[in-house]
Chain A
Amino acid sequence: MAAIEAAELRRTYKTHTGTFRRRAKEIEAVRGISFAVEPGELFGLLGPNGAGKTTTIKMLITLLIPTGGSARVLGLDVVHQAREVRKRIGYVFGGERGVYERLSGYDNLRYFAELYGVPAREQKRRIEELLELVGLKGREQERAEGYSRGMKQRLHVARGLLHDPEVLFLDEPTIGLDPVGAREVRATIASLTEAGKTVLLTTHYMFEADALCDRIAVISKGSIVAEGTPLDLKRGVAQGSVVEVEVFGIADEALERVRALGGVVAVAIEEREQAQVLVVQTEPDVELTQAILSHLNGSDVGRISRREPTLEDAYVALVSE
């Protein structure tokens, strides 16, 4: 039995436009996705902002009712057995919200320990253990409002583990953290699967998914566009190559002309310090450097390089389709 199972999961939102003439509009956030996560697996849901990652996770953790399809966690239906599902899952999201700022870190954990029904005699020991695990020992009596973003994030992780859940849902847990803080959270996540937990992680950091996940599903515009191990996804674009051109100000029209070139798989712009880098993925055995440069008339061009594709390139190619 899969630990997490989504079958044709679908979710639309109703929204309104206009002030006096209000018109209802339906937005399809998730368009019938299916996947399964095996027990003990760390599964990544990778996608850009607005791809449907958080909506998917919220359906799985019983916060949203799907408008179509079904989902099961540990064999339990997320709509009809919501309470049973909640007992056995943990949920951690990224960012500074989700903390009672006026309470100490310890009181935050104590409150949720009660809410998750952790027996009174076990609470103290469990909270101490988790404070140790996330590196907040010694700071637990301070009010959470004084915590750094990284400390709040680690407090979130501790909260999600209070009741020792079998399945953990981590929604962009390292978002906004500095490199050291993010590395600490990633180390904690890695230790969770070692402890036998099943983890569903959403992120838009490729290296994070590459480093942590056993398998990845790439989600774009509400649909899964690829699924496999990080290696599988890299292989998908490994036959081509990547041309990187450093540019200082590039017009949208030039970008569109490059995109329209035959043999181009995907085009992206990355900001690197003062410059922008035009990243062009090409099909195998196609040499497009000169053709690309000819379309950049009017832009200052810096360094030009050619390299093998990475997981990030695979991701860009997938979400650009």
Chain B
Amino acid sequence: MSSLRLLGVSWWLQFKMIMRSPFDGIGNVIYPLFFATTAFFVFRAGDSPRTLIYASFGAAVMGMWSSVSTSAGSAMQRERWWGTLELLVTTPRHFSLILLPTTLGLATVGIYNLAATLLWGRFLFGVHLTIAHPLLFALAILGTVLSFAGLGFLFAVSFVRFRAAWVLGNFFEYPVWLICGFLVPLSFLPGWVHPISWALAPTWGMSAIRESALGGSPLPDIGACVGLGLGYVVVGVLVTDRVLRAARVSGSLSLT
């Protein structure tokens, strides 16, 4: 109960901090719209309304993913700069309970990215979306947010030990767009890429959002997405102690 309360309060305070940062705020407002604009221009050239709808969902999830992948690393880096990382480690809570709400807060901002991108497409590019299964669509978004938070958490754990690991967040940003089928179907990619795509929750989240909106059956995708997200969390929790111990041995917690 106390752990749930910690997750809730921490999530809310993290969310508050993100929303109060002018740079984070502007980045989160404007950045995804650039992706969306680029995607809309590219796919409009194809002159296929269905392709444009396909791309608009892809662009929306791109914004969500970028928000999590780049921010998860910088969030830990900020804790170092602020001198709060050591304070967090000296508390008796399991460190994963401290990290998880941070990445969950970032993933929540991703919901805005998704909504903003869809509205951008609607009003600037005239992409009319009809959601076939609204409830499943909402469930798919929720599952995607949770799985992104899980993946961000796994990144964040490594950022605690390796100071320069925040760069990985940026490194993973663009390949995931491609590998997880945000803009082009997986079938366009070489066969050897598919197992990598299947191991990444964003692939299933993307598929679930499209399936629920376009009238398919998204439940297996939602299941795979949430399952993988939980898997990332479990792996993250299991390695947290080891990573923290390594940081305590190397003395890297206080370094900025």
Residues of A in contact with B (beta carbons under 8 Å apart): 13-14, 58, 61-65, 83-84, 86-87, 89, 91, 93, 95, 97-103, 107, 110-112, 114-117, 119-120, 143, 159
B42-82 residues with Cβ-Cβ distance < 8 A to A are: 82
In this complex, the member of B5, B84, B249 whose beta carbon has the largest number of chain A beta carbons within 10 angstroms is: B84
Q: Contacting A103 at CB < 8 Å: which of B17, B86, B98, B254?
A: B17
Scan B224-256; emit 1 where CB is below 8 A from any A CB, else 0: 000000000000000000000100111101100
- Shortest distance from the beta carbon of B10 to any chain A beta carbon, whole Å: 7
| Interchain residue pairs A-B with the least CB separation, the first 4 | A97-B83, A115-B91, A86-B92, A98-B83
B251 contact set on A, CB distance < 8 A: 13, 64
A64 contact set on B, CB distance < 8 A: 248, 251, 253
Is the contact region of chain B dominated by helix, strand, or loop, or is it mixed? helix
- Shortest distance from the beta carbon of B86 to any chain A beta carbon, whole Å: 6
Asked if B82 contacts A98 (CB within 8 A), the reply is yes
Asked if B90 contacts A91 (CB within 8 A), the reply is yes
- In Å, the complex CA distance between A120 and B5 comes to 9
Known: A63-B248, A64-B251. 6 other contacts (CB 8 A): A63-B86, A98-B87, A103-B17, A110-B9, A115-B6, A159-B87
A99 contact set on B, CB distance < 8 A: 82-84
User: 27 interchain pairs (CB within 8 A)?
Assistant: A13-B251, A61-B90, A62-B89, A62-B90, A63-B89, A64-B248, A65-B248, A84-B92, A86-B90, A86-B92, A87-B92, A91-B90, A95-B83, A98-B84, A100-B82, A100-B84, A107-B13, A114-B5, A114-B10, A115-B92, A115-B98, A116-B91, A116-B92, A117-B2, A117-B92, A117-B93, A159-B87
A93 contact set on B, CB distance < 8 A: 83
B249 contact set on A, CB distance < 8 A: 65
Instruction: Give the number of chain B interface residues (Cβ < 8 Å).
Output: 29
Residues of B in contact with A (beta carbons under 8 Å apart): 2, 5-6, 9-10, 13, 16-17, 20-21, 82-84, 86-93, 98, 245, 248-251, 253-254
A110 to B, closest residue via Cβ: B9
Q: Contacting A102 at CB < 8 Å: which of B16, B83, B92?
A: B16
- In Å, the complex CA distance between A113 and B251 comes to 26
- Shortest distance from the beta carbon of B146 to any chain A beta carbon, whole Å: 21
In this complex, the member of B21, B90, B98 whose beta carbon has the largest number of chain A beta carbons within 10 angstroms is: B90
Asked if A97 contacts B82 (CB within 8 A), the reply is yes
- Shortest distance from the beta carbon of B130 to any chain A beta carbon, whole Å: 40
- In Å, the complex CA distance between A220 and B16 comes to 44
Asked if B9 contacts A63 (CB within 8 A), the reply is no
B6 to A, closest residue via Cβ: A114
A97 to B, closest residue via Cβ: B83
- In Å, the complex CA distance between A107 and B20 comes to 14
- Shortest distance from the beta carbon of B183 to any chain A beta carbon, whole Å: 35
- In Å, the complex CA distance between A262 and B131 comes to 93
B82 to A, closest residue via Cβ: A97
Asked if A101 contacts B16 (CB within 8 A), the reply is no
- In Å, the complex CA distance between A77 and B83 comes to 25
B82 contact set on A, CB distance < 8 A: 97-101
Asked if B87 contacts A91 (CB within 8 A), the reply is yes
B254 contact set on A, CB distance < 8 A: 58, 63
A89 contact set on B, CB distance < 8 A: 90
- Shortest distance from the beta carbon of B25 to any chain A beta carbon, whole Å: 11
- In Å, the complex CA distance between A61 and B84 comes to 15
B248 contact set on A, CB distance < 8 A: 62-65
Asked if B16 contacts A103 (CB within 8 A), the reply is yes
Asked if B87 contacts A111 (CB within 8 A), the reply is no
- In Å, the complex CA distance between A91 and B91 comes to 10
A83 to B, closest residue via Cβ: B92
A93 to B, closest residue via Cβ: B83
- Shortest distance from the beta carbon of A14 to any chain B beta carbon, whole Å: 8
A62 contact set on B, CB distance < 8 A: 89-90, 248
- In Å, the complex CA distance between A30 and B77 comes to 28
- In Å, the complex CA distance between A117 and B9 comes to 12
In this complex, the member of A58, A84, A114, A115 whose beta carbon has the largest number of chain B beta carbons within 10 angstroms is: A114
B88 to A, closest residue via Cβ: A115
- Shortest distance from the beta carbon of A258 to any chain B beta carbon, whole Å: 38
A13-B251, A111-B10, A120-B5 given; A100·B88 CB < 8 A: no
- Shortest distance from the beta carbon of A121 to any chain B beta carbon, whole Å: 12
A117 contact set on B, CB distance < 8 A: 2, 92-93
- Shortest distance from the beta carbon of A16 to any chain B beta carbon, whole Å: 12
A111 contact set on B, CB distance < 8 A: 9-10, 13
A120 contact set on B, CB distance < 8 A: 5
B87 contact set on A, CB distance < 8 A: 91, 98, 112, 159
A55 to B, closest residue via Cβ: B251
A110 contact set on B, CB distance < 8 A: 9, 13
A95 contact set on B, CB distance < 8 A: 83
- Shortest distance from the beta carbon of B123 to any chain A beta carbon, whole Å: 32
- In Å, the complex CA distance between A137 and B92 comes to 27
A98 contact set on B, CB distance < 8 A: 82-84, 86-87
B6 contact set on A, CB distance < 8 A: 114-115
- Shortest distance from the beta carbon of B193 to any chain A beta carbon, whole Å: 36
In this complex, the member of B6, B251, B254 whose beta carbon has the largest number of chain A beta carbons within 10 angstroms is: B251
B5 contact set on A, CB distance < 8 A: 114, 120
